[in-house]
Amino acid sequence: MSLNILITGANRGIGLALSQQLHAAGHKVFAACREASEALQALAGERLHIIEGVDVGQAQCGTVLTEALQGQSLNWVINNAGLLINTPLNTLDFEAIEAQMHVNAYGPLRVTQAVLPLLHEGSKVVIITSRMGSIADNSSGGHYGYRMSKSAVNSAGTSLAHDLKPRGIAVALIHPGYVQTGMTGHQGHIDTATSAEGILARIEGLNLENTGTFWHVNGEVLPW
């Protein structure tokens, strides 16, 4: 069955890999980003629609999405857009921390609220978070802005799971692994294609019984 799927941050990295794999599987993809890359533009066509000008860190992103998606129905929403800026204790940059909060924590909530009228029973909302947002798993400190923003979005995702369950909509929080992307300086344990495959497997297994779970991409349940 072909699904209608919205992906944010679709122009590169994990978002691009998700777009490529879902497009290849025959689904209709709405690829949202600030500006489309050449790789994303190469996919554009009847089954992949690019929505540019979507900066999830800005309040107007909801308006851009609702206008572009008018008349559509969505099966999956994958909140993938993210921002990582190193903010060590000795040189704390509160503007950088705030920017990460706006993109990583507020962004998925902005997007989900904007497209809520397009969701229905059986729809799924996915937040690509990070195990760096786990308080119990924090054994190294640092990265204040990124860790705080991911902890915040984990909290938001848990509330969404409770609020949307009566409507038959399930929510997943997924750590994509340590992935070789521009965000990590192309360091990591897995490539974007492998991460995307794991993310899609977790989404396939998402239902109302396990809604609100914080998963590692490999299927392990992570501590809060």
Q: Please pick, among 106, 144, 146, 178, the residue that the annotation labels catalytic.
A: 146
Phi-psi region of 174 (alpha: psi -120 to 50; beta: other; left: phi over 0): beta
The CA-atom distances, in angstroms, between 140 and each of 31, 91, 99, 137 are 35, 17, 22, 9
Cα 90 from Cα 213, distance rounded (Å): 34
Cα 136 from Cα 71, distance rounded (Å): 43
Cα 125 from Cα 119, distance rounded (Å): 9
Q: Per the structure block, which two tokens stand in for 35?
A: 């500006």
Is residue 33 within 8 Å of 9, Cβ to Cβ? yes
Known catalytic residue: 146?
yes
Tokens 């489309």 — which residue?
A: 36
Beta strands in the chain (DSSP E): 4-8, 28-32, 48-51, 76-79, 124-128, 170-175, 213-216
Cα 36 from Cα 129, distance rounded (Å): 22
Helix H or strand E segment including 66:
helix 61-68
3-state SS assignment for residue 98: helix
Catalytic residues: 146
